[in-house]
Amino acid sequence: MGDDHSTARPLRADARRNRERVLQIAQEALASDGLAISFDEIARRAGFGVGTVYRHFPTREALFEAVLLGRMERFVADARALATAEDPGRAFFGWFRTVVEQASANQALCEMLEGGTGPAFRRGTTLETDFAAALSRLLQRAQRAGAVRGDLRTEDVQDLLRGCLTAERRARARGGKVSMAEVVCDGMRSHPR
């Protein structure tokens, strides 16, 4: 325990290259095939024996986390950056659309957000809590500004986001013209009538 990555002796040059290659291949594999892809398959695609890959990532889940965690954290960072924007409605809807747009191109990311089940995004994780908190601030500000239906709660928006990913991913796969996120955002707006 406590393998101190920052102070540990640097990896041998070949190991470093190989580690990088595994991450690269895993990234592509997860984006196109989703969380269900097998560890063996990733090793095969990268051209390594499974033992080699396990040397770098102790567990299937650890590998997936290494690939996906950063992406998720960026969503949280984006939300925080927008928490003080001058137009709360624009900030909220912009963030929502950005997340849908970015994630819908990545199968594994979608599954993680949709299911709340992937690595490092389980119920109660720091990441999951931060995500909900950041979203909550955006939402409340937008609601106070009258841009979003007042009866929507954070969990509602989270679920709508998940649903929107499901829809947008498929729409994107078939080259659809209408943005599903656009439709859902319209549904979340305060009813003018």
Partner DNA sequence: ATAGAATCGGAGAGATCCCTCCGGTTGCCG
Partner DNA sequence: CGGCAACCGGAGGGATCTCTCCGATTCTAT
Footprint on this chain of DNA (rule: CB under 7 A): 9, 11-15, 18, 38-41, 47-52, 54-56, 58-61
Q: Decide whether 25 or 110 has the Cβ nearer to a copy of itself.
A: 110
Read off the amino acid at residue 138: L
Q: Which residue has the tokens 């955006």?
A: 138
Q: Residue 70 binds which entry of a copy of itself, DNA, none, with Cβ cut-offs from 5 to 8 Å by kind?
A: none
Single out the residue of 15, 139, 25, 128 nearest to residue 73, CA to CA. 128
Q: Residue 48 binds which entry of DNA, a copy of itself, none, with Cβ cut-offs from 5 to 8 Å by kind?
A: DNA
Distance CA 155, CA 152 (A): 8
Q: Decide whether 80 or 162 has the Cβ nearer to a copy of itself.
A: 162
Q: Decide whether 43 or 157 has the Cβ nearer to a copy of itself.
A: 157
Q: Decide whether 40 or 156 has the Cβ nearer to DNA.
A: 40
Distance CA 149, CA 139 (A): 10
Distance CA 29, CA 34 (A): 7
End-to-end C-alpha distance for the chain, whole angstroms: 60
Q: Decide whether 55 or 90 has the Cβ nearer to DNA.
A: 55
Smallest gap from residue 48 Cβ to DNA (A) = 4
Report the DSSP beta bridge partners of residue 189.
Answer: 148
Q: Residue 74 binds which entry of DNA, a copy of itself, none, with Cβ cut-offs from 5 to 8 Å by kind?
A: none
Smallest gap from residue 127 Cβ to a copy of itself (A) = 18
CB contact set of 43 (below 8 Å; sequence gap of 6+): 22, 49, 50, 52, 53
Smallest gap from residue 86 Cβ to DNA (A) = 47
